[in-house]
Structure 1
Amino acid sequence: MTFDQNAFLIIFTASLIAISCGLLGVFMMLRKMAMTGDAISHAVLPGIVIGFLVSGTQRGLEVIIGAGILGILATLMIDWLRKKARVQLDASIGITFTLLFAIGIILISAFAYRVDLDQECVLYGEIAYLPIDLWITDAGNNLGPRIMWLAILNLTLVLAFITLFYKELKLTSFDEKFGVVIGIPASAINLGLMSMVSYTTVSSFEAVGAILVVALLVVPPATAFLWTRQLRHLIKLTLIIGVMVSLLGYYLAYLLDSSIAGMMVTVAGIIFFASVGFTRYRSKINFGTQNEAKAFSS
């Protein structure tokens, strides 16, 4: 097997998406809102349908705008149910995403039943088609895979957001009440974070599908959290794991002739459970060593 251009484009784009999701996923996990990404990935469906009805295409800017608005709406609904209606967070997420997702299904069946929204497209995606989905300008110039440029734009926006608001994100993630006391607009920061999650979900949806997007938002940060509690190290390790998932997932899918996105999720799960086993084993060794040291000193 040779490392050809198509393989590079797929791994490179998947790594960009993994980095974008991982950066956002770290702060989502610290806020105990990791599965909000799953809710948003379902809740944006009405926005996708409305954008399609307006533009007549699934690739129009209207689709991204519509999905982004619905992602923000989902965030506001979850926050309102949690704070005002005093509904538990997990219940708020479940109520919100099932309601909005059901509305999207109704809109498809009533107005956009010709939209290609089958299981393969929604749940798994097909990043293998990335090298042939090219961005051709009006002048006839071939700029390369369209999804790759979307991933680059998405990562640029995510990096800009986290760089500009790193201190605010850090403080409100660890202690939201303290952040409010010292004057940080915690609600605005949370809304901005959810907006970036919405955009990342939508921009990655077509390439890799909802399952992989949610997995990249949750699993690499959770795995990294098993190894470190320092935020900067947590972010770095999350990015490394995301790139490993993209690389190993592609080549295992190639060898086994299976779904690339599905294999990437599988690799992420294997790395997580291996980390759980190793960290538990290390903790037992350290605990035993400490007991021996105490017994010796006494």
Structure 2
Amino acid sequence: MTYAGWIILTASLVGVSCGLIGVFLILRRMAMMADSISHTVLLGIVIAFLITRELSGPHMLIGAILAGLLTAFLVQWLHSLDIQQHASMGIVFTTLFAIGVILIATSVGNAHLDVQHALMGEITFIPWNTIYFPLIGDIPQATMLLAIAFVVVLFFIIAFYKEWKITSFDPALAASLGIPVLLMHYLYMGLVSITTVAAFDSVGAIMVVAMLITPAASAYLWTDKLSIMLVLSSAFGVVSAISGYYIATWIDTSISGSMAFATGVVFFVSFIFSPKHGFISKYVRPVKEA
């Protein structure tokens, strides 16, 4: 595969994985959690580095996932103390992210860990960091990690589709039916963490947030059916990844930034033209009725 092909494939895997996960964030009204976890994984990465003094390996993934789960736990704990959920997310993510930034500035030293890389990623370097995979050959490590994350996310969404649907729309009904709502919540937060961590090094926190929230919000405008929303959200994520890459090459700018911009364009088009919730449909419908 070509250099550009690997970049587009990697970004598309980010788009489809985040698109699937993002739908439930929107339905659960937890969009801010995407921002929280995408920033607080930095703390897990930094702590893993401080313990091992190595910049690669499974310990980085484990540290970041634990940081994501810690974020979810602290947000839930503060919310149980009658602090509004959005306020809890803001408190936790700013505090943990700030700790990560401070540790980078004071303890990491000359290692290649910097806040700019954490925010924007460096997807242009992805094709050079490869691993050998039997029957396929050398493939970018980030692409392989994202492919595994996608398979994991898809498996759990299909396996617990009914549970995700009920707990997202009516947690009280789910609890009355014997579904472990809290366990499903932390399992879902684990999937959010895995997806965020897999995409973090490639595209940075900004694009992760954009891919988790905006394609799902766009899909929400087009349909009220969950299964169709999942497909549309994933498709919008892939479209944003591909179009964002070509926008970046056209005007010679940040690839991750252009892909995040593309998600905004997709949302704007959806907001204007979606048949049921779009701006035009809401403007035209009263005229027809009159």
| TM-score, reference length from structure 1 | 0.91
User: Aligned match of 1:62 in 59, 67, 70?
Assistant: 59
> Which residue does the alignment assign to 1:223?
218
**Once the 2 structures are TM-superposed, how far is the Cα of residue 157 of structure 1 from its aligned partner?**
0.7
**Once the 2 structures are TM-superposed, how far is the Cα of residue 150 of structure 1 from its aligned partner?**
0.6
> Which residue does the alignment assign to 1:287?
286
> Which residue does the alignment assign to 1:181?
176
Give the distance between the partners of 1:250 and 1:72, measured in 2 at CA.
Answer: 31
> Which residue does the alignment assign to 2:231?
236
**Once the 2 structures are TM-superposed, how far is the Cα of residue 136 of structure 1 from its aligned partner?**
4.8
Give the distance between the partners of 1:126 and 1:110, measured in 2 at CA.
Answer: 23
Q: Secondary structure at the match of 1:135?
A: strand
Identical amino acids, percent of aligned pairs: 41
> Which residue does the alignment assign to 1:114?
110
Q: Which runs of 5+ in 2 are unaligned?
A: none
Please, which moves more after superposition, 261-270 or 55-64?
55-64
- 1:123 maps to a residue whose letter is L
Give the distance between the partners of 1:50 and 1:219, measured in 2 at CA.
Answer: 30
Q: Conserved in 2, the CA contact under 8 Å of 1:52 and 1:60? A: no
Give the distance between the partners of 1:266 and 1:156, measured in 2 at CA.
Answer: 26
**Once the 2 structures are TM-superposed, how far is the Cα of residue 239 of structure 1 from its aligned partner?**
1.2
> Which residue does the alignment assign to 2:197?
202
**Once the 2 structures are TM-superposed, how far is the Cα of residue 176 of structure 1 from its aligned partner?**
0.6
> Which residue does the alignment assign to 1:28?
25
Give the distance between the partners of 1:277 and 1:159, measured in 2 at CA.
Answer: 30
> Which residue does the alignment assign to 2:14?
17
Cα deviation, 1:219-261, whole Å, max 9, x if unaligned, reads 0000111111111111111111111101111111111111111
User: Cα gap change, 1:112/1:118 in structure 2, threshold over 3 Å: closer, same or farther?
Assistant: closer
Q: Conserved in 1, the CA contact under 8 Å of 2:126 and 2:140? A: yes
Q: Conserved in 1, the CA contact under 8 Å of 2:42 and 2:118? A: no
**Once the 2 structures are TM-superposed, how far is the Cα of residue 282 of structure 1 from its aligned partner?**
1.7
User: Aligned match of 2:159 in 157, 164, 167?
Assistant: 164
4+ residue runs of structure 1 moved beyond 4 angstroms? none
User: Aligned match of 1:262 in 252, 257, 277?
Assistant: 257
| Matched pairs, number | 285
Give the distance between the partners of 1:59 and 1:200, measured in 2 at CA.
Answer: 18
Give the distance between the partners of 2:203 and 2:255, measured in 1 at CA.
Answer: 9
**Once the 2 structures are TM-superposed, how far is the Cα of residue 106 of structure 1 from its aligned partner?**
3.1
- 1:21 maps to a residue whose letter is C
Give the distance between the partners of 1:230 and 1:289, measured in 2 at CA.
Answer: 26
Cα deviation, 1:161-220, whole Å, max 9, x if unaligned, reads 111111111000000111011100011111011111111111111101110001000000
Give the distance between the partners of 1:179 and 1:217, measured in 2 at CA.
Answer: 25
Give the distance between the partners of 2:286 and 2:11, measured in 1 at CA.
Answer: 39
Cα deviation, 1:99-129, whole Å, max 9, x if unaligned, reads 1112222333343233323344111112111
Q: Conserved in 2, the CA contact under 8 Å of 1:219 and 1:269? A: yes
> Which residue does the alignment assign to 1:271?
266
Q: Secondary structure at the match of 1:288?
A: helix
- 1:167 maps to a residue whose letter is K
- 1:132 maps to a residue whose letter is W
**Once the 2 structures are TM-superposed, how far is the Cα of residue 142 of structure 1 from its aligned partner?**
5.0
- 2:181 maps to a residue whose letter is A
Please, which moves more after superposition, 117-126 or 155-164?
117-126
> Which residue does the alignment assign to 2:246?
251
Give the distance between the partners of 1:287 and 1:228, measured in 2 at CA.
Answer: 21
Q: Which runs of 5+ in 1 are unaligned?
A: 292-298
Pairwise CA RMSD of aligned residues? 1.7
User: Cα gap change, 1:99/1:119 in structure 2, threshold over 3 Å: closer, same or farther?
Assistant: closer
> Which residue does the alignment assign to 2:86?
90
User: Cα gap change, 1:143/1:55 in structure 2, threshold over 3 Å: closer, same or farther?
Assistant: farther
Q: Conserved in 1, the CA contact under 8 Å of 2:248 and 2:254? A: yes
User: Aligned match of 2:3 in 6, 11, 30?
Assistant: 6
| TM-score, reference length from structure 2 | 0.93
**Once the 2 structures are TM-superposed, how far is the Cα of residue 90 of structure 1 from its aligned partner?**
1.4
User: Aligned match of 1:38 in 17, 35, 38?
Assistant: 35
Give the distance between the partners of 1:65 and 1:118, measured in 2 at CA.
Answer: 19
**Once the 2 structures are TM-superposed, how far is the Cα of residue 50 of structure 1 from its aligned partner?**
1.6
Q: Secondary structure at the match of 1:284?
A: helix
Please, which moves more after superposition, 200-209 or 278-287?
278-287
Q: Conserved in 1, the CA contact under 8 Å of 2:221 and 2:271? A: yes
Cα deviation, 1:17-69, whole Å, max 9, x if unaligned, reads 11111111001110000110110111222211121123322221111111111
